[in-house]
Amino acid sequence: MKLWAGRTGGDVDERLSAINNSIGFDSRMVKQDITGSIAHARMLGKQGIIDEADAAAIVAGLKGILADIESGALEIDMSCEDIHTFVEATLTERIGDAGKRLHTARSRNDQVALDIRMYLADEIDRLVGLAKDLAAAFCDVAEQHLETVMPGYTHLQRAQPITLAHWLMAYAQMLLRDIERLSDCKKRTLILPLGSGALAGTTYPLDREFVAEQLGFGGISLNSLDGVSDRDFALELLSCLSILMMHLSRFSEEICLWCSWEFKFVTLADSFSTGSSIMPQKKNPDITELVRGKTGRVYGDLMTLLTAMKALPLAYNKDMQEDKEALFDAIDTADLSLSVLTPMLRTATFHPANMKKAAARGFINATDCADYMVKKGVPFRDAYKVVGQLVKYCIDRELTLDELPIAEYRQFSLVFDEDVYQAIDLLTCVNQRSLPGGPAPEAVRATIEKTRANMEN
């Protein structure tokens, strides 16, 4: 029998239940459902909408249900329609008639909107914690590699010298923005929809501000139609998680590349690598391939909800029940990805010697060679041309700019002197880029400090 058996008998075809029931996934929100109901019952009692004694019985009953679920003494009945039905039915079973008063001045439409907002706010806190852990790992590893020179790339071609620390801190900045976006989205998530009723508010003298305060919400919704039908906050979270996953995926792609023999910039710990069932020599970066692969799921979750919402007339429509599986999947995926990347990064071994070797080839100090000429008075565009010719000359002779004898330099321009070797030394090139945000060790150290301070707020 259904909670809503009234106009219809409530005896439904099992195939209706198969498509209609949501307890299989919304049971995750049991704690939020109960906590929300406790605040609602307290307010009903305070306002004299139900007896204080009934309110107290409801609050005690709900606390008991939560405690029993947490201890394992009570199992959620998966044959119920949804988590709201289960909690209300269990309460009435336990405390009798008072339990039937809990749903006064409330609809499942504003109830589910409340539950999902509370659930997401809790998950945002957890995800922010995990993102901070990963950002802290980037800072800690970077601190050990302030002078580890490597090539920076554009078009996946060696471009200019940077350090491993600088590369790591780029990802830390992305995570800082992800954290900021998540925290910002939480503000709009914690707007209380309860009191919107089914769609048109309610005739009872509710104290919505009191409920908001009890539940730690920053404010109340100002339109009941919007209160029950707004899922912007959920879409915002899915957008935040899509961007976060895009960052993790870019990092993962680079780690996959770096694990190859072609790069060999990094070796992952055995405990964070996999093997092949046939090729005995293989050590594969499955973690980063999976994070890269799972990113598509989260984009899909965002598309699922955007599409579900796009043509819904006001106010609540059952299509909106589809929000939860998409949200839970995105949250689980981001959680898993962040949780595994942090220890993987902390246990990885980077190979400075291989990075240095890669940095030595590819003429990544060519810009600095041109800048050397500029410092000696040559206009940049002319210097650029000369160094271009120098590079071609070196390629033909299989030399690097560092190996080219000074006499041959001087065939191209008489501004070249012995001090050119110092000027184009890779460490010099990095050290000279000491502006805020640059790769020079002191600049990266400042970025690490600012990043750490930023995460303490």
Known catalytic residues are 155, 276
Structure tokens at 52: 């204080």
Is 321 a binder of ligand ARG (CB under 6 A)?
yes
**DSSP per residue over 6-17, as a string?**
SSS-----HHHH
Of 69, 61, 189, the closest CA to residue 117 belongs to 189
State in angstroms the smallest separation of the CB of 324 from ligand ARG. 6
Structure tokens at 132: 């901070």
State in angstroms the smallest separation of the CB of 69 from ligand ARG. 19
Is the bond preceding residue 315 a cis peptide, omega within 30 degrees?
yes
Q: Is the Cβ of residue 192 or residue 404 nearer to ligand ARG in the bound state?
A: 192
> How far is residue 47's CA from residue 44's CA, in Å, rounded to a whole number?
5
Of 367, 357, 360, 353, the closest CA to residue 423 belongs to 367
Q: Is the Cβ of residue 33 or residue 371 nearer to ligand ARG in the bound state?
A: 33
Of 111-140, binders to ligand ARG (CB under 6 A) are: 112
State in angstroms the smallest separation of the CB of 325 from ligand ARG. 10
Contact 234, 327 (CB under 8 A): yes
**DSSP per residue over 283-328, as a string?**
-B-HHHHHHHHHHHHHHHHHHHHHHHHTTPPSS--GGGGGHHHHHH
* Type of residue numbered 154: T
Is 33 a binder of ligand ARG (CB under 6 A)?
no
Of 211, 387, 232, the closest CA to residue 312 belongs to 232
Q: DSSP class of residue 274?
A: B
Stretch that binds ligand ARG, among 5-13, 104-112, 339-347, 383-391 (CB under 6 A): 104-112
Contacting residue, 108, 132, 186, 247, with ligand ARG by CB under 6 A:
108
Q: Is the Cβ of residue 5 or residue 53 nearer to ligand ARG in the bound state?
A: 5
Of 219-258, binders to ligand ARG (CB under 6 A) are: none
State in angstroms the smallest separation of the CB of 111 from ligand ARG. 7
Contacting residue, 35, 109, 288, 447, with ligand ARG by CB under 6 A:
109
Q: DSSP class of residue 80?
A: S
Of 360, 113, 341, 95, the closest CA to residue 223 belongs to 113
State in angstroms the smallest separation of the CB of 267 from ligand ARG. 47
Is 22 a binder of ligand ARG (CB under 6 A)?
yes
> How far is residue 8's CA from residue 101's CA, in Å, rounded to a whole number?
22
Is 80 a binder of ligand ARG (CB under 6 A)?
no
Is 88 a binder of ligand ARG (CB under 6 A)?
no
Helix axes 83-95, 52-71, angle to 10 degrees: 120
Of 65, 37, 41, 35, the closest CA to residue 53 belongs to 41
> How far is residue 198's CA from residue 228's CA, in Å, rounded to a whole number?
7
Q: Select the residue whose beta carbon is closest to ligand ARG and give its number.
A: 321
Q: Tell me whether strands 191-192 and 219-220 are parallel, antiparallel or unpaired.
A: parallel
Number of residues that bind ligand ARG (CB under 6 A): 8
Stretch that binds ligand ARG, among 107-115, 210-218, 272-280, 299-307 (CB under 6 A): 107-115
Contacting residue, 168, 192, 245, 320, with ligand ARG by CB under 6 A:
320
Q: Is the Cβ of residue 234 or residue 268 nearer to ligand ARG in the bound state?
A: 234
Is 148 a binder of ligand ARG (CB under 6 A)?
no
Q: Is the Cβ of residue 16 or residue 353 nearer to ligand ARG in the bound state?
A: 16
Whole-number CA gyration radius for the chain: 30
> How far is residue 82's CA from residue 108's CA, in Å, rounded to a whole number?
10
Build a one-symbol-per-residue string for 153-182: x at contacts with ligand ARG by CB under 6 A, - elsewhere: ------------------------------
Structure tokens at 143: 């601190």
State in angstroms the smallest separation of the CB of 45 from ligand ARG. 25
State in angstroms the smallest separation of the CB of 309 from ligand ARG. 13
State in angstroms the smallest separation of the CB of 97 from ligand ARG. 24
Is 85 a binder of ligand ARG (CB under 6 A)?
no
Stretch that binds ligand ARG, among 54-62, 105-113, 296-304, 395-403 (CB under 6 A): 105-113
Contacting residue, 33, 54, 82, 329, with ligand ARG by CB under 6 A:
82
> How far is residue 321's CA from residue 280's CA, in Å, rounded to a whole number?
48
Is 327 a binder of ligand ARG (CB under 6 A)?
no
- Binding stretches for ligand ARG (CB under 6 A): 22, 26, 82, 108-109, 112, 320-321
